[in-house]
Structure 1
Amino acid sequence: MLTGRTLLPDNKIASLDGRRRRSERSKQAIIDAVVDMINEGELFPTAAQVSQRAGVGLRTVFRHFSDMNTLFTLFNEDRRPHYRAMFEEGGDRTGALENRIVALAEFRAVRWEDVTAVMRFSVAQRRRYKALADNYADYQHGLLEDLKTWLPELSQQEPVILEAVVGVCSFEYWDRLRDLQGLSVEEATGVVILCLRRLLLA
């Protein structure tokens, strides 16, 4: 019975499978190169730098990713579960408000220190690439929802208090304290705790 299909010899199938595996390895190497460069503090990685770091040709980069926006889209998809888990899992979110304020400040201090490089990259590039802008907006929404699990009292606060708390707990504020104002992790954490106490316990 004729099926209309052309059966490939085993050696042809093996060859196609090998090419697919090589293609997937190249694609992952490119994404890994972007991750490594960003974690090392590179704010503006170029396609040429990525290809050199990944050990593939420039044409290979653009064969997998038509432009840098497409590459950053895949970068986001690859890393999003990791970064979400960092903030949404862990930390003691029970007990009195005073205790939760301290726990929240200390928890986010550790997380902000861990993701400083990628957050600086996102802030620097989000107006240039739609993929990063969309991901950054989604990330901010996720952080707000996570903040409410620490501080359910926010639902009873005036909008101006909510916005102030969001600002104090943001990466941008943390990075200002650490970078521009030159505070240590302990000092910056103390500033965040003081601000939250004044906003929520006054």
Structure 2
Amino acid sequence: MSKETTVDVQSPETQVDGRVARSERTREAIAGALLELLEEGVLRPRAQEIAKRADVAVRTVFQHFDDMEGLYAEILRRQSERIAPFLVPLDPHRSTADKVRALVEMRDNMYALAAPLRRGMTRIGSASKSKTFESALEELRRVMTQQIQQGFVKELHLNTDPYDVLPRIEAITSFEMWDHFIQVQGASRTAVRLHMTVMVLRELQPTG
């Protein structure tokens, strides 16, 4: 007796789903390659370097991303997911000092994670002029401001100039301030946290 031979024939829908999945994996590999290169200090990665790291052909990079804006959008999306845990609301029931320490700790951890990409993006000519990059930074600043406003409602209310205090706290806890301490002054992250904590607490002292 002859044995029946079973042929596994995939439906057109399954074949399409497979191609979509492979395409998505390739996009992720390319975006991940650029992110890794920037984090390793390669400030102006070339398409050849990105392709080599992603293990794809150079033409594949441009097949999956119409332009650099599309590639920037993808790595910024990935970065947003990574820093989300540091943008959670502060517990309003904690003391002012505890909230300040929590805020500064989250800022420090977020900046340490994001610094390589942030520095790399600002040094790439096309990225520094990118509307995608600009929009992402604007949204990040909005969320960071909201975190301060909601976390220190009582403290800001007790201050006679809350509209002046808020931008000063934003400046003190900004990436630019953090990076200046780290890059220019050579301060340790522990020292930066201490400086920021002291300055924010000083700003939040009740006035009037």
Shorter-chain TM band: 0.7 to 0.9
TM score, norm. by length of structure 2:
0.79
Q: CA RMSD in A?
A: 2.4
The yes-or-no answer on 1:119 pairing with 2:122 is no
User: 1:191 is matched with which residue?
Assistant: 195
TM score, norm. by length of structure 1:
0.82
State the percentage of identical aligned residues.
Answer: 26
| Counterparts of 2:148 and 2:104, CA distance in 1 | 11
The yes-or-no answer on 1:66 pairing with 2:99 is no
Q: Greater shift after overlay, 140-149 or 19-28?
A: 19-28
The answer on whether the counterparts of 1:167 and 1:173 sit within 8 Å (CA) in structure 2 is yes
| Counterparts of 1:93 and 1:108, CA distance in 2 | 18
User: 1:174 is matched with which residue?
Assistant: 178
Query: CA shift at 1:63, angstroms?
Result: 0.7
Query: CA shift at 1:137, angstroms?
Result: 1.0
1:26 is paired with a residue of what secondary structure? helix
Gaps of 5+ in 1: 1-9
| Counterparts of 2:123 and 2:171, CA distance in 1 | 18
| Counterparts of 1:121 and 1:114, CA distance in 2 | 13
Give, as a single letter, the amino acid of the residue that structure 2 aligns with 1:135: A
Give, as a single letter, the amino acid of the residue that structure 2 aligns with 1:95: R
Give, as a single letter, the amino acid of the residue that structure 2 aligns with 1:104: L
2:146 is paired with a residue of what secondary structure? helix
1:95 is paired with a residue of what secondary structure? coil
Summarize deviations over 1:119-139 as a string: whole Å, max 9, x none: 323444553222111111111
Give, as a single letter, the amino acid of the residue that structure 1 aligns with 2:108: A
Q: Greater shift after overlay, 60-69 or 98-107?
A: 98-107
2:186 is paired with a residue of what secondary structure? coil
When residues 151 and 73 of structure 1 are mapped into structure 2, their CA distance, relative to the original with a 3 A threshold, is same
The answer on whether the counterparts of 1:73 and 1:132 sit within 8 Å (CA) in structure 2 is yes
Gaps of 5+ in 2: 1-8
Following superposition of structure 1 onto structure 2, how do residues 119-158 of structure 1 map, counting pairs within 5 Å? 119-125=118-124, 126-152=127-153, 153-154=155-156, 157-158=161-162
The yes-or-no answer on 1:110 pairing with 2:114 is no
User: 1:200 is matched with which residue?
Assistant: 204
2:128 is paired with a residue of what secondary structure? coil
User: 2:166 is matched with which residue?
Assistant: 162
When residues 46 and 129 of structure 1 are mapped into structure 2, their CA distance, relative to the original with a 3 A threshold, is farther
User: 1:3 is matched with which residue?
Assistant: none
Give, as a single letter, the amino acid of the residue that structure 2 aligns with 1:192: M
Query: CA shift at 1:173, angstroms?
Result: 0.3
User: 1:44 is matched with which residue?
Assistant: 44
The answer on whether the counterparts of 2:87 and 2:106 sit within 8 Å (CA) in structure 1 is no
Give, as a single letter, the amino acid of the residue that structure 1 aligns with 2:142: H
2:203 is paired with a residue of what secondary structure? helix
